[in-house]
Structure 1
Amino acid sequence: MCLLNHDLALAEAHARVVLDVLRDALAQNWGVAVAQDLWATMSVSQRLQWAREALPELDAEDDGVHLA
């Protein structure tokens, strides 16, 4: 059960990160295509940093964390 909760937390963090990228891009009138390009060019460490900010209680240092 704990693993399921961890997976749900990861999914929530991933969704929040993607929404943050989209929100930032749209706020600057970049559009969705630019937001998708931005997400694609972000390094894993940048994605993890955004996840830590989106969901601080998430242990983003866990080896099982992959925000691709």
Structure 2
Amino acid sequence: MTPLRRRYLAALRTPLLPCGIHRDPLLCEVAPTAPSSFGLTRRELAAERARLRAAGWSTADVAERLLPA
């Protein structure tokens, strides 16, 4: 088992952090604080939004991570 997998499984046994989303403090450090364009153009953002929706992401999840097109 990889160290990353062991860390993930260990985090599942701990309570949620104050952010209410993560159990692993390293994930909170890399989580975006607000929706972002991630440096993508408007066309690329629209394509990424469509890709995420096709992959099963909810509209709320996509909106939480990406700025509106």
Q: TM-score, normalised by structure 2?
A: 0.30
**Between structures 1 and 2, the one with greater helix share:** 1
Higher Rg of the two aligned structures: 2
- Higher relative contact order, structure no. (Cα contacts within 8 Å, ≥ 6 residues apart): 1
Q: TM-score, normalised by structure 1?
A: 0.31
